[in-house]
Structure 1
Amino acid sequence: MPRNQQIVLDNRPQGEAVASNFKLVATDTPALKDGEVLVRHHFLSLDPYMRGRMNESKSYAASQALGEVMIGGTVGEVAESKHPKYAVGDKVVGMGGWQEYSVVNAEQPGALRKVDTTHVPLSHYLGAVGMPGVTAWYGLVKIIAPKEGDTVVVSAATGAVGSAFAALAKARGCRAVGIAGGADKCKYAVEELGFDACIDYKEHSDVKAMSKALKEACPNGIDGYFENVGGWIMDAVMLRMNAFSRIALCGMIAGYDGAPLPMANPALMLINRMKVEGFIVSEHMEVWPDALKELGTLVGTGKLRPRETIAQGIAAAPEAFLGLLKGKNFGKQLVKLI
């Protein structure tokens, strides 16, 4: 069995996460038991939710245990199998974590899923046609539930979740407006992702300036908002929300280092009779088949063209992850392992 390099959580962050919170180790991969599959990972997914797991605090999921392999989605191929439904060479997606190989109990429901790479590249199953894409789908379709002609806005518009949002919104006849950091990201959002407009939060860098830019981009107000960031950007968007608008609360990356995120004007939720709903996409597995079918079609037909930022090698994962938290990535952040 192969030698396996892994990244474990060595110690918990005190405020901002740093590279020394992680440790690179190597172990021997255990021999397979009946029903198990050895997966060689091709790509590892890096996602903002991982930062919250590093803390030892109450959250929607258990904290990442110290000394254990960091949690994370992976795609790869079956290297050895003792399960009748999986053959060597099958392309699969799972939650293999920050390591080069994983041993998976394939009898466990949802632990491993075969994927077709004929029309969709393998790496996209960690992004647009994976958990982030389904997250965008659920927040838009099930919570915002737009009508044709509605104006919908998403923060972190060119990230893994946000980049799937425009194609899904345009398919439903909506005006889609993004918020992203930097002129290049905003240009990509409009020219390649299909947003009607994109606002650069680095240029419009406070509540007043952002709110003014949103008024210009959303002349009929905002009917639905998909929140990935929180903080002052959310305060600015709230000022432009229409009566009976909806907010899908997906992430609060502005507060992932542990600082509280006060809200400037929560009374707007009452004044505008807003629906605000937080969600975790893994709690809604019933929608995944429909969502993945639509997302796969959008990618396969070229209507959704996601970008990827790729770090090379398992040792690069910590720095790539810290860069993701600061918005240094362009599109989905991945680590290529082979």
Structure 2
Amino acid sequence: MNKIILLDKRPVGKVSLNDFKFLQSEIPQPKEGEILLKTLYVSVDPYLRGRMNDSKSYVPPFQLNEPIQSGIVAKVVKTNNAAFKEGDIVSGSLKWQEYQVSAGTGLNKIESDGNSLTAYLGILGMTGLTAYCGLLEIGKPKAGETLVISGAAGAVGSVVGQIGKLLGCRVVGIAGTDEKVEMLKSEFHFDAAINYKTTPDLKKAIQDACPDGVDIYFDNVGAEISDAVLVNINKFARIPVCGAISLYNGDTSSNGLRISSVLVTKSALMQGFIVSNYADKFPAAIKQLTAWVKEGKLISSETIEEGFDHIPQAFIDLFDGKNKGKMIVDCTN
């Protein structure tokens, strides 16, 4: 039988397991021009929370009683499409189903070339592209500048920091546990890292960690953390806004910093983005990311949970900070 995970209810505040529904059906069979895919690895990402709301955004919301979709690595187990053969490994935006049929549109064949298949959901997939394009196209880093990253131990943040180091920046990460702070310094070689949950004066801690001020702030979090960084930015600072995970569950309890005067007085650029804005940059970005991975200059951090049934819980765990790097669910067994 085929397991399927649907969005059962639109979450109010924090997502719960009750917002999902499991169904079983017969395994579908591919028609002419289609392929049958077996899910191997599933990416769970914070942005999926926004698609659970019935509101207009850059992508349509998930529909109730329909399968949720995210980045997936899958194996072709049956084919009626000449472009694919049995055993091919592909990645793409696919449904949370153990088995599904596809016409092949939007799928990318993976030639692993020694890389872990999970890398194509992370450092060699949308995660790496988001980090690379956001930092280079908006952040425009220069050697000797100071780069601060919120959500620095997450999937995107950990890659941004590594790229910043490769380009000669002083890199400061903000994370939520002492263990993550130590990981940022020891594994990813950040110059400094701050535990925002145990730091009584975050503005002062950022000032101390950034004696020359902040030139680039890669914002994954928003809210009070971003307020504390923004008061430390330099003139002509650049602020790529990748996400606001602190606000995804509807927490609007704090009005926060009035940023207009900060941006004006510092002549700063603050720009939100989605990775598809830079689709024309993807080939060059993938080439560079792959080279850095092969050379051992860029490493991937992953938290891998086991079992298709665990996908919803793994997604919920993102908002409790239980992941280090990319959160992936292994559905191979």
Interval of TM-score (by shorter of Structure 1 and Structure 2):
over 0.9
Instruction: Please say if 1:211 is aligned against 2:203.
Output: yes
Answer yes or no: is 1:287 the counterpart of 2:285. Answer: no
Q: CA deviation at 1:130?
A: 0.7
**1:116 correspondence with 2:108:** no
SS at match of 2:258: coil
1:152 alignment counterpart = 147
CA shift at 1:233, angstroms? 0.2
Q: Does 1:312 align with 2:306?
A: yes
Q: Which residue of 1 aligns with 2:36?
A: 38
1:137 matches 2:132: yes
Query: Structure 2 CA distance, aligned partners of 1:247 and 1:147?
Result: 14
TM-score (norm 2): 0.95
Give the total of aligned pairs. 330
Q: 1:39 Cα deviation (Å)?
A: 1.7
Tell me, in whole angstroms, the C-alpha distance in 1 between the residues paired with 2:235 and 2:14.
Answer: 37
Q: Residue 43 of structure 1: CA displacement?
A: 0.5
Corresponding residue for 2:255? 262
Per-residue deviation, 1:230: 0.3
Structure 1's unaligned 5+ residue stretches are none
1:117-171 alpha-carbon deviations (Å, 9 max, x no partner): 2231001111111101110111100001111211111111111101111221122
Q: What is the alpha-carbon distance in structure 1 between the residues aligned to residue 119 and residue 163 of structure 2? A: 16
Residue 126 of structure 1, aligned match among 97, 121, 124: 121
Q: Which residue of 1 aligns with 2:223?
A: 231
Counterpart in the other structure of 1:184: 179
Secondary structure of the residue that 1:96 maps to in structure 2?
strand
Q: Report what 2:90 is aligned to.
A: 92
Distance of 1:334 and 1:15 partners within structure 2? 23
RMSD after superposition: 1.4
Please say if residues 44 and 75 of structure 1, whose CA atoms lie closer than 8 Å, have aligned partners that are also in contact. Answer: yes
For the Cα contact (< 8 Å) 1:163–1:189, is it kept in 2?
yes
Q: What letter corresponds to residue 247 of structure 1 in structure 2? A: I
In the TM superposition, what whole-angstrom CA distance separates every residue of 1:10-59 from its partner, at most 9, and x where no partner exists? 01112221110001111223321232222211110000001111111232
Structure 2 counterpart of 1:162:
157
Matched residue, 1:6: 4
User: Contact conserved, 2:180 with 2:324, CA < 8 A, in 1?
Assistant: yes
Does the CA contact (< 8 Å) of 1:6 and 1:314 recur in 2?
no
Equivalent residue for 2:13? 15
Query: Contact 2:28–2:36 at 8 Å: present in 1 too?
Result: no
**Conserved? CA contact 1:245–1:275, under 8 Å:** yes
In 1, Cα distance between the equivalents of 2:93 and 2:241? Answer: 24
Q: State the distance in 1 between where 2:26 and 2:284 align.
A: 39
TM-score computed with the length of structure 1 as normaliser: 0.94
Match of 2:184, as an amino acid? Answer: A
Question: Which of 193, 198, 202 pairs up with 1:198?
Answer: 193
- Unaligned residue ranges in structure 2 (runs of 5+): none
CA contact (8 A) 1:120 1:296 kept: no
Distance 1:195 1:283 in 2: 28
Q: Deviation string for 1:217-249 (max 9, x for gaps)? A: 111111111111000000000011001101101
Partner SS, residue 245 of structure 1:
strand
What residue in structure 1 maps to residue 270 of structure 2? 276
SS in 2 for 1:103: strand
Native 8 Å contact 1:119 1:300 kept in 2: no
Q: Which amino acid aligns with 1:289?
A: P
The sequence identity of aligned pairs, in percent, is: 41
CA distance in 2, matches of 1:294, 1:42: 26
**Residues 1:69 and 2:31 aligned together:** no
